[in-house]
Homo-oligomer: A and B are copies of this chain.
Amino acid sequence: MKIGIIGSGALGLYYGAMLQRSGQQVRFLLRRDYHAIQKTGLQVYSCNGDFHLPQISGSLSAQEIGTVDLVIIGLKTISNHHLIDLVSPLLGPETAILTLQNGLGNEELLAEAFGARRVLGGVAFLCSNRGESGTVYHSGEGKITLGEFNDGLSQRSCDLAAMFQAAGVPCTAVSDLRRARWEKLVWNIPFNGLCALLEEDVTNLLNHSQSKELVRNLMFEVITGANAQGLEEPIDGPGFSQKLIFFTESMDHYQPSMLIDRIEGHPLELEAIYAIPLQQAKAAGVNMPRVEMLHTLLSYGESEP
């Protein structure tokens, strides 16, 4: 399968590399890493074993990539105003689009521009960070849960899941993409936000009983917001939050992407991870006061002169 990767950050580089290694024809839209990758290829440092891809098909423009069978989107949502222009040149009549971006609102944006039929969404639970140009670090996890934007389990979803599985990426196709999106928010909203705000990694955050309790209370709010969205099956509050905390305790001083963005002075993905979920919860009659407060505190830092 011919695959175009739009947004070759930590996530795009890692999954693209895994797919290429498994035999797929992968085309990367590159920016920062272009010259390094042209010169020496792509180096993946992974907890599952390092590997090196000497030949990468990388382009600086989407036009150069041309049409593909599948577009995988790993772009930061703060660049979503470029998304349509970047994806358009890759689309043939049957091209599918899979967005693995954070938060809510991405499938809607793509569906409006290119038709809902093309669009799938996936939730990636991946601990990865970029290294120096031409390298990417995978420190843990990596599972993708994907599904159709138009609900329901499709053959296409199952085929994509099988493709990722064959590439060594755990992947499940689900019928309720919205539930998967909200489940990811139950992690993203507390950990991305609190880590960025306090400039602290997940391990230190969970080592203090008060901040751990705050993580849990934020999770409960998000789960309440999620369960008001008419999911196929509600998320079990205590069980799911306990599972996520337990699981995060195994991440050794992991720095979520939003913390790295804050440290490096990049804009934060507040719209997709906070603003739209807050709107959708409110529209369903649920207030999330702590989430709203966290959003405000993070926004404040963004809008500073």
- Please tell me which one of the listed residues B210, B217, B299 contacts residue A289 in the complex, with CB atoms under 8 A apart: B217
The answer for the CA separation of A213 and B197 in the assembled complex, in Å, is: 19
Majority secondary structure, A binding face: helix
Q: Which residues of B contact A297 (CB under 8 A)?
A: 197-198, 211, 214, 297
Total copies of this chain within the assembly: 2
A200 / chain B contacts, CB cutoff of 8 Å = 300, 304
Interface: A262 (CB within 8 A): no
A300: chain B residues at CB < 8 Å are 198, 200, 208, 210-211
* Alpha-carbon distance between A260 and B43 when the two chains are bound, in angstroms: 47
Q: Give the size range of A's interface with the partner.
A: 20 to 34
Q: Which B residues lie within 8 Å of A296 (CB)?
A: 210-211, 213-214
A131 lies within 8 A of chain B by Cβ: no
- A232→B304 CA distance, assembly (Å): 42
Contact of A293 among B198, B293, B303 (CB under 8 A): B293
Asked if A290 is at the interface (CB within 8 A of a chain B CB), the reply is yes
Determine the chain B residues whose CB is within 8 A of the CB of A293 once the complex forms: 214, 217, 290, 293-294
Q: Smallest CB–CB gap between A32 and chain B, Å?
A: 31
For window 193-230 of A, CB contacts with B under 8 Å fall at 197-198, 200, 208, 210-211, 213-214, 217
Give A277 Cβ to nearest chain B Cβ, in Å.
16
A54 at the interface (CB under 8 A from B): no
In the complex, what residues of B have CB within 8 A of residue A217's CB?
289, 293
Question: Is residue A152 contacting chain B, with contact meaning CB distance below 8 A?
Answer: no
Selected A-B contacts with CB under 8 Å, 17 pairs: A197-B297, A198-B297, A198-B301, A200-B300, A208-B300, A208-B303, A210-B295, A210-B296, A211-B296, A211-B297, A211-B300, A214-B293, A214-B297, A217-B289, A217-B293, A289-B289, A297-B297
Pick the 7 closest A-B CB pairs, nearest first: A210-B296, A214-B296, A211-B300, A290-B293, A289-B289, A210-B299, A198-B300
Chain A residues packing against B (C-beta within 8 Å): 197-198, 200, 208, 210-211, 213-214, 217, 289-290, 293-297, 299-301, 303-304
